[in-house]
Structure 1
Amino acid sequence: MIVGIDLGTTHSLIGCHDATGPRLFANALGEFLTPSVVSMDASGQVVVGQPARDRMVSHPQASVANFKRWMGSPRETRLGAHSFRPEELSALILRSLIADAEAALGERIDEAVISVPAYFSDAQRKATRAAGELAGIRVERLINEPTAAALAYGLREKADGARFLVFDLGGGTFDVSVLEMFEGVVEVHASAGDNFLGGEDFLDLLEQACRADLKLADSALDASQRGQLRRRLEAAKRDLGSRGQAQVELSLGDRQLAWQIDEDRFARLADPLVQRMRAPLERAMRDARLKPEQLDEIVLVGGASRMPLVARTVSRMFGRLPLRHVNPDRAIALGACIAAGLKSRDQQLEEVILTDVCPYSLGTEVARRDERGRVVTGFFEPIIQRNNSVPVSREETFWPIHERQRQLQLDVYQGESPLVEKNIKLGALTVDIDPALPIAQNAVTVRFTYDINGVLQVEARVHADDRRYELLLEQNPGLLDAQQIRERLAALNDIKIHPRSKQENLAVLARAERLYEEHLLARDQLQEWIARFRAALESQDDALIREHRREFARALDTLESA
């Protein structure tokens, strides 16, 4: 069985494509959105999703979120006695999603199509695949999030030649892609984005403004109180979108603090982030060689695109209202489900070909001679320019810089800077050449081939004797190799993860602990409710536990809405 997964910065979703079309699976709590949060309890068991999100307030030192932004890096996070890489944290989310899907389907899942930001680098894409492997599934296909959104909107069914722009602002990343439909082909013309711009950055702005107005220094809030503040600011951000103003109340020791903000002030605070959004939009249009009036549709997806200032920015830039009729939180997941159906050759789906582009330029380091004949190194020579449709293959010919040179060092980079020091090094290939030959006869042709799965093949051919060298860039510095994945997988299998069957009980207790942190006046009542529910759990009577859980949840609803 092949499923589609949206592995998001703030929330993740899973689904499949069947006779009724794309459908998403609810988690154990009955929700389609599973927070991308991991926590570890006192017994050393891993908690994932909504219970972990609640524990971000009550147990901030044992919880972590937003780790999608660290994919492709060797950064590690300590939770209890264990250290986790971003791939492993993502794998824990994937395992939870897969358990939900298997519970709904009643069959084992062995493969997934996972969506990634269009502007994810080579290393980040490979880290996403590694996360799938650590979760016990095969990930042969990654689909760019804007392409998935296009499938969800049914834009593949538009008239031939239709062009549209997908604007995807999620919790942690921003992507924009320009696509065109032609004879059953969804072709990406250009992609651009910012892997460090999303809803979390707008939340950071609200936090900075709130703390400045209330004169709260960094030392004034501990980790738990900061978690409370951010949770309430997140609710305020939603209120700003629906009501145009919001109020935040915070208990800080014996102090009761209140803060207000309206949509106008929020828009002024957010202007630097809005300007950061404009740059990738303009770049994608420029790379696609299109003018705004040549677009047929503009589509907004991603949870953060709900903010009115986002829709206003896009409307002003393109002179029209964007499409938003598909739930922006679910659009990418639904598109991933359709991509999974296409991959499994679901007969319900009309055959459609998806093409994508290489999001970064790929090339090598070269040396040049200046006007005085001196050799200057460190220049970047692109071989595959960004936004070329993939699969793509390009070649260039290079010569040694010195007489009697014995080797050419081909350092492979990705990026857009003219200087390699500002780009990302992917690997290196050393080519032997004949030092007896003159420079003009010592040419080496280098071919780069980049496929739809993000694998870069580098081939070098020495003209003098037709010797060939090859480098397959399936790994990057800082990423796990096959042996390390096996070792990490064994370690993850030894870590106890709360079973899906206990998630509802765990979630209501985690929520109660969070409310205990937030509501000083209700602490005695909350302790009584927690003790009563724990006693019901000890009875191991499923009917009694269900009854107490419903009563407990209703009581917490009443407290939280008061």
Structure 2
Amino acid sequence: MIVGIDLGTTNSAVAVWRDGQSHLIPNALGEYLTPSAVSIVDGDTILVGAAAKERQSTHPRDTATVFKRYIGTSQTTRLGRMEFGAEDLSALILRSLKDDAEAFLGEPVTGAVITVPAYFNDRQRKATRRAGELAGLKVERLINEPTAAALAFGVHERAEREPFLVFDLGGGTFDVSIVEMFDGIVEVRASAGNNRLGGEDFNDCLIDLARRRIDPDGCLDGADPIALRELLRVSAERARRELSDRDNAVFSLTHDDTVFSATIGSAEFESHAETLMAQLRDPVLRSLRDSGIASEALSEIVLVGGATRMPIVRRAITRMFGRFPNASVHPDHAVALGAAVQAGLLARDAALDEIRLTDICPFTLGVDQAERDMRGNLRYGLFSPIIERNSPIPISRVNYYCTIGDGQSAIQFGIYQGEARDVSANVKLGELKIPVPPRPAGQISVECRFSYDSSGLLEVDVLVPATGLKRNLVIIDDADAMTPDEVERRRESLAALKFHPREDARNAALLARAKRCYEGFIGENRERVGQWITTFEAALDSQDDRLIRDAQAELARVLDALEGERFL
């Protein structure tokens, strides 16, 4: 069984293609969205999802969120006594989704289509693949998030469409894709994005706006910075969501039995977020330029990603395009649903026989070269593009290069991905060296061919016409590559961590939420929550299903009454 997975910065989801359509799969709590959060309890017990998210503000040193932003880097996160890389934490999320899918479907899940931001580079994509392998999944395909959203949107409509733009602003990344549908072909014309822009940045903006108001005397300056940061993030998330429905929101937190609060208006939030709003414009303009499509020719502006719920974002989009965007697809579900469509395509489901997807290469691929300046001096380390960004894939392109020195006996190509003129600012993917006969400079030329396919495989072929010598390289990131034995060792290491039984997931999440509320309230409310925690823990210790069920319902009712709407 192959499923589609949206591995998100804030929330993740899994879906399956069945009976001619995509279906979201609920997790153990009966919810379609699983928070991308991991927490460690008692040194070696792992909580994933809602239970971990509830511990974010109460146990910040033992809880990790937003780690997707660091996937493909060497940055690690310490939880308790253990160190985790971003791909290890992502693997725990993916394994949880895999378990949920198997429990729901009643059969093993062996493969997955996993979504990635369109602007993820080669290193980030390979790290995502490794995370899937560590979770026990065969990653059948990585698909760009806006492409997946376009599949969910287009397949649902089943009609030819003029070019439309998918505006995908999630918790941690921002992507734009221009897509066209005709004769059963879903064609991506161009993509652009920003891997460091999302709802979390708007949360930071709210924190910056509110911090001076809630604490003008600097009473919070002596607080544990990590614990305070998480308290502020939880408060900002709640206030930002509240501003999606109202003109004003209360930014409030409790620290050392003191309540710090301030009212934030939508207009002042929008004004304070002007810098972030400006960053939304550049990827839109780049995608329009690269596709050669004018904004007036777009039939729809389709919104995807939870952060597009913000009125300030929707107003900015309306001003940008001079019309209202299309919000007909569920912003949090579209990407997972589209990934399931791709899974159905890979499984050759009969209902998808008439649909074909063509994607693009999101980054420019090329080699380093040397050029002579106006004074005749050689400048090294300059980027020479071979496959330009937003070229339809699969694709094969060739460039020609010649020797730059008399008697030169070899040419070495550094292979890069990126857009910068200096290769030092791009991502190095590998290198290839080929011998050439020693001749005067410029007399020996070589042919360098790049071939790139939809699975992200880059093949480099270099030919010396003068000798017929050839060299070939299939790009592998040697710094990060894992042998099958290494994959298995890391998988066993993650599997050795103890997990709460699946049937206890709801209880763990509810108890973590109650403990967070106990720290968040004071006075009679705190005392009341404490009493209900004691009652609930006693019911759990009894192992009596009826008592647990009744105590669970009552505790949830008490917390809902205290907190109002629940924000995860």
Aligned partner of 2:407 in structure 1 is: 404
Aligned partner of 1:108 in structure 2 is: 108
Q: SS at the partner of 2:56? A: helix
Aligned partner of 1:369 in structure 2 is: 372
1:149 aligns with 2:149: yes
Taking the TM superposition and a 5 Å limit, the aligned residue runs for 1:545-560 are: 545-560=548-563
Q: SS at the partner of 1:382? A: strand
What does the per-residue CA deviation read over 1:367-387, in whole Å, with 9 as the maximum and x for residues that have no partner? 011223222212110011111
Q: SS at the partner of 2:119? A: coil
What runs of 5+ residues in structure 2 fail to find an aligned partner?
none
Aligned partner of 2:435 in structure 1 is: 432
Taking the TM superposition and a 5 Å limit, the aligned residue runs for 1:230-241 are: 230-241=233-244
- Partners of 2:540 and 2:321 in 1: how far apart? 57
CA separation of 1:130/1:178 partners in 2, compared to 1, >3 Å: closer, same or farther?
A: same
Q: SS at the partner of 2:196? A: coil
- Partners of 2:416 and 2:294 in 1: how far apart? 31
- Give TM-score, length-normalised by structure 1: 0.96
Aligned partner of 1:189 in structure 2 is: 189
Taking the TM superposition and a 5 Å limit, the aligned residue runs for 1:295-374 are: 295-374=298-377
- Partners of 1:483 and 1:404 in 2: how far apart? 45
Q: SS at the partner of 1:475? A: coil
1:16 aligns with 2:19: no
- Partners of 1:320 and 1:116 in 2: how far apart? 29
Contact 1:156–1:186 under 8 Å retained in 2? no
What does the per-residue CA deviation read over 1:98-138, in whole Å, with 9 as the maximum and x for residues that have no partner? 11111111111001111111111111111111111000011
Aligned partner of 1:79 in structure 2 is: 79
Q: SS at the partner of 2:532? A: helix
Taking the TM superposition and a 5 Å limit, the aligned residue runs for 1:59-458 are: 59-154=59-154, 157=157, 160=160, 162-213=162-213, 214-215=215-216, 216=218, 219-222=221-224, 223-435=226-438, 437-458=439-460
Please state how far the C-alpha of 1:555 moved relative to its aligned partner. 2.1
Please state how far the C-alpha of 1:212 moved relative to its aligned partner. 2.2
Aligned partner of 1:32 in structure 2 is: 32
Number of residue pairs aligned between Structure 1 and Structure 2:
561
Letter of the aligned partner of 1:297 in structure 2?
E
- Partners of 2:483 and 2:420 in 1: how far apart? 28
- Give TM-score, length-normalised by structure 2: 0.95
- Partners of 1:162 and 1:445 in 2: how far apart? 39
- Partners of 1:273 and 1:192 in 2: how far apart? 16
CA separation of 1:202/1:490 partners in 2, compared to 1, >3 Å: closer, same or farther?
A: same
What does the per-residue CA deviation read over 1:306-332, in whole Å, with 9 as the maximum and x for residues that have no partner? 111211121122122111012111111
What runs of 5+ residues in structure 1 fail to find an aligned partner?
none
Letter of the aligned partner of 1:290 in structure 2?
I
Q: SS at the partner of 1:242? A: coil
Q: SS at the partner of 1:460? A: strand
Alignment equivalent of 1:528, drawn from 527, 531, 538: 531
- Partners of 1:277 and 1:80 in 2: how far apart? 37
Alignment equivalent of 2:472, drawn from 470, 473, 486: 470
- Partners of 2:498 and 2:380 in 1: how far apart? 52
CA separation of 1:113/1:188 partners in 2, compared to 1, >3 Å: closer, same or farther?
A: same
- Partners of 1:561 and 1:240 in 2: how far apart? 15
Letter of the aligned partner of 2:104 in structure 1?
A
Please state how far the C-alpha of 1:274 moved relative to its aligned partner. 0.8
1:517 aligns with 2:519: yes
Letter of the aligned partner of 2:538 in structure 1?
A
Please state how far the C-alpha of 1:480 moved relative to its aligned partner. 4.6
What does the per-residue CA deviation read over 1:247-298, in whole Å, with 9 as the maximum and x for residues that have no partner? 1233232433220111110111111111101000001001111111111111
- Partners of 1:395 and 1:96 in 2: how far apart? 44
Please state how far the C-alpha of 1:554 moved relative to its aligned partner. 1.7
- Partners of 2:205 and 2:345 in 1: how far apart? 41
Contact 1:38–1:47 under 8 Å retained in 2? yes
Aligned partner of 1:53 in structure 2 is: 53
What does the per-residue CA deviation read over 1:369-423, in whole Å, with 9 as the maximum and x for residues that have no partner? 1223222212110011111011111111111110111211100111111111221
Relative to structure 2, which stretch is displaced further, 532-541 or 457-466?
Answer: 532-541
Relative to structure 2, which stretch is displaced further, 476-485 or 505-514?
Answer: 476-485
Give the superposed CA RMSD. Answer: 1.8
Letter of the aligned partner of 1:104 in structure 2?
F
Letter of the aligned partner of 2:519 in structure 1?
E
Contact 1:74–1:479 under 8 Å retained in 2? no
- Partners of 2:93 and 2:405 in 1: how far apart? 53
What does the per-residue CA deviation read over 1:10-54, in whole Å, with 9 as the maximum and x for residues that have no partner? 000011011162111111111111000000001511100011001
- Partners of 2:297 and 2:38 in 1: how far apart? 44
- Partners of 1:74 and 1:481 in 2: how far apart? 18
Q: SS at the partner of 2:350? A: coil
Contact 2:429–2:476 under 8 Å retained in 1? no
Please state how far the C-alpha of 1:561 moved relative to its aligned partner. 3.2
Letter of the aligned partner of 1:8 in structure 2?
G
Please state how far the C-alpha of 1:300 moved relative to its aligned partner. 0.6
Relative to structure 2, which stretch is displaced further, 247-256 or 5-14?
Answer: 247-256
- Partners of 2:221 and 2:53 in 1: how far apart? 23
Contact 1:460–1:470 under 8 Å retained in 2? yes
CA separation of 1:386/1:203 partners in 2, compared to 1, >3 Å: closer, same or farther?
A: same
Q: SS at the partner of 1:327? A: coil
What does the per-residue CA deviation read over 1:148-181, in whole Å, with 9 as the maximum and x for residues that have no partner? 1112113685654621110000000000001111
Contact 1:475–1:481 under 8 Å retained in 2? no
